[in-house]
């Protein structure tokens, strides 16, 4: 009787609310609303007034300020390597995003929120995500590991007794996981991803050309020139920065060969991590992966030659998922639409044996 009343009350709350999925990435945050799809995609970045402590801008508006602010305004990225580094700023950013996406809805009750997190994060890091989402206005918070969400977003048979392997190369971390029957069989999370490629490019240009460039320039250079194989025809880009010797402005020409040399050590770290995961995968599941292939998602999947390199080294077919940048949020959306069906795949709540929906 009591359970029935509780269930009816929950149904009423859900009818007066909206369910929100959040891919809280180091580089970008995407938000999904149940029944509407992806409604927001903005950089995970915030501009703060250091004098007053107030938010000046969030997302794209803050991104445009990066490197161009006066001394009293600081532009910060509240997530580092996939986890929260500044709790209060993350909370304010989430509150802004949740309020923004709820404006066009009829919801009068606080939302249930599903957040994607890197695999293997600690209990402290999970608690930080839960608390930040709750303080930002969530009624209830569920967590799902990002490689699991990416696998669901790629329409892989995660419920079946079939091995599926996913590599999600994000902004702060690379998540590698082998899944079967609603669970992770083997996984590894390494803090080598898009941001680290940017840092490698900044270091390379400084060391080889004696020019200091910012992260934004490095990101643009990576998007235009990054490749891990010789494409034959080299591309070039004029990059502007500060001469580290004279301190004066200077421009240099960067080629695809330069960027390839800069990022190769990072790419090899990702390949080696994938090899390590395969080495601890049970033989029957390994046979499934060899037959069905490895699925590549995240922004790193767009780098020319990454899939070919993985295929060559690991000896398994590699498939880049459709729209790899949105694989995780697509998976979040599918889970939101079918919470009961995907309950086993959610990260367990603290103090509970399984998620209670």
Q: Is 357 among the domain residues?
A: no
Determine the Cα–Cα distance for residues 326 and 317; give it in Å rounded to an integer.
22
CA distance 337 to 111: 14
Residue 166 · residue 330 · CB < 8 Å: no
Residue 352: its pLDDT value, please?
Answer: 41
Instruction: Identify whether 296 is part of a domain.
Output: yes
> Going residue by residue through the chain (357 aa), what tens digit of pLDDT does each one get?
565 544 554 554 555 578 999 999 999 999 999 889 999 999 999 999 988 888 899 999 999 998 888 999 999 999 988 889 999 999 999 999 998 888 866 666 789 999 999 988 889 999 999 999 999 989 999 999 999 999 999 999 999 999 999 999 999 999 999 999 999 999 999 999 999 999 999 999 999 999 999 988 999 999 999 999 876 677 899 999 999 999 999 999 999 999 999 999 999 999 999 999 999 999 999 999 999 999 999 999 999 999 999 999 999 999 999 999 999 999 999 999 998 899 889 986 443 433 334
Q: At what angle do helices 306-314 and 256-279 cross, to 10 degrees?
A: 40
Domains in the chain, number: 3
Evaluate whether residue 251 is within a structural domain.
Answer: yes
User: Domain check: are 250 and 270 in the same one?
Assistant: no
Instruction: State the CATH number of the domain containing residue 215.
Output: 3.90.640.10
Structural domain of residue 320, as residue ranges? 150-192+265-324
Do 216 and 285 fall into the same domain?
no
Integer Cα distance of 276 and 293 in angstroms: 17
In a domain, 356, yes or no: no
Nearest CA among 178, 148, 173 for reference residue 162: 178
232 with 85, same domain?
Answer: no
Distance CA 234, CA 131 (A): 48
Q: Both 179 and 305 in a single domain?
A: yes
pLDDT of 66 reads: 85
Report phi then psi at 137, rounded to 5: 120, 5
Note whether 198 and 184 are same-domain residues: no
**Which of 236, 263, 290 is a domain's end point?**
263
Question: Is residue 125 located within the same domain as residue 30?
Answer: yes
Please give the radius of gyration of the chain, using alpha carbons only, rounded to the nearest integer: 22
Q: What is the CATH number of the domain that holds 137?
A: 3.30.420.40
Q: Which of 219, 246, 263 is the last residue of a domain?
A: 263
171 and 202 belong to one structural domain: no
Helix locations, the chain, DSSP H: 2-15, 60-65, 87-102, 123-135, 146-153, 194-209, 215-225, 256-279, 283-292, 306-314, 327-337
> Does residue 36 form part of some domain?
yes
C-alpha separations of 206 from 83, 195, 212, 228, 245 in Å: 28, 17, 5, 21, 11
Q: How far apart are CA 182 and CA 344, in angstroms?
A: 6
Closest to 110 in 3D by CA, of 134, 144, 143, 142? 134
**Is 354 within the bounds of a domain?**
no
Determine, yes or no, domain membership for 352. Answer: no
Size of the chain, expressed as the number of residues it contains: 357
Calpha distance 38→31 (Å, rounded) = 6
* Cα distance between residue 319 and residue 309, in whole Å: 12
**With contact defined as beta carbons under 8 Å apart, do 295 and 321 qualify?**
yes
Instruction: Choose one of 245, 263, 281: the last residue of a domain.
Output: 263
Domain assignment present for 155 = yes
- Name 206's Cβ contacts closer than 8 Å, sequence gap at least 6: 212, 213, 244
Same-domain pairing of 34 and 96: yes
CB neighbour class for 233 (10 Å; exposed up to 12, middle 13-18, buried from 19): exposed
pTM of structure: 0.88
Neighbours of 116 (CB within 10 A): 29
In terms of domains, do 28 and 103 share one? yes
Same domain, 170 and 203: no
| Co-location of 134 and 162 in the same domain | no
Same domain, 164 and 225: no
Strand order of the β-sheet with 249-255 is 211-212, 236-243, 249-255
Report yes or no: 219 and 253 within 8 Å, Cβ to Cβ: no
């Amino acid at each position: 009787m009591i359970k029935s009343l509780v269930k009816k009350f929950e149904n009423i709350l859900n009818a007066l609310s909206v369910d929100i999925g959040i891919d809280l990435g180091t580089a970008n945050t995407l938000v999904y609303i149940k029944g509407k799809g992806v409604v927001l995609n903005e950089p995970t970045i915030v501009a703060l007034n250091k004098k007053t402590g107030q938010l000046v801008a969030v997302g794209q508006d803050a991104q445009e300020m990066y490197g161009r602010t006066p001394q009293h305004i600081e532009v910060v990225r509240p997530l580092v390597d996939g986890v929260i580094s500044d709790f209060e700023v993350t909370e304010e950013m989430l509150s802004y995003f949740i309020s923004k996406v709820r404006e066009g809805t009829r919801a009068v009750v606080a939302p249930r929120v599903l957040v994607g997190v890197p695999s293997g994060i600690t209990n402290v890091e999970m608690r930080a995500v839960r608390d930040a989402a709750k303080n930002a206005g969530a009624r209830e918070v569920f967590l799902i590991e990002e490689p699991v969400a990416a696998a669901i977003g790629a329409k892989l048979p995660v419920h079946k007794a079939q091995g599926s392997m996913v590599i999600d190369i994000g902004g702060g971390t690379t998540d590698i996981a082998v899944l079967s029957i609603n669970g992770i069989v083997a996984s590894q999370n390494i803090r080598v991803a898009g941001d680290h490629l940017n840092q490698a490019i900044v270091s390379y240009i400084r060391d080889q050309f004696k020019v200091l460039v910012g992260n934004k320039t490095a990101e643009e250079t990576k998007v235009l020139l990054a490749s891990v194989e010789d494409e034959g025809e080299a591309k070039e880009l004029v990059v502007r920065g500060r001469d580290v010797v004279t301190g004066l402005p200077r421009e240099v020409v960067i080629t695809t060969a330069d960027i390839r040399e800069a990022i190769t050590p990072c790419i090899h770290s990702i390949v080696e991590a994938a090899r390590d995961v395969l080495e601890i995968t049970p033989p029957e599941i390994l046979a499934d992966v060899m037959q069905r292939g490895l699925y590549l998602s995240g922004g790193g999947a767009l780098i020319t030659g990454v899939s070919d390199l993985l295929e060559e080294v690991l000896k398994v077919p590699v498939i880049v998922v459709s729209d790899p940048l949105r694989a995780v949020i697509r998976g979040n959306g599918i889970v939101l639409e079918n919470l009961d069906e995907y309950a086993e795949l959610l990260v367990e709540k603290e103090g509970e044996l399984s998620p209670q929906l």
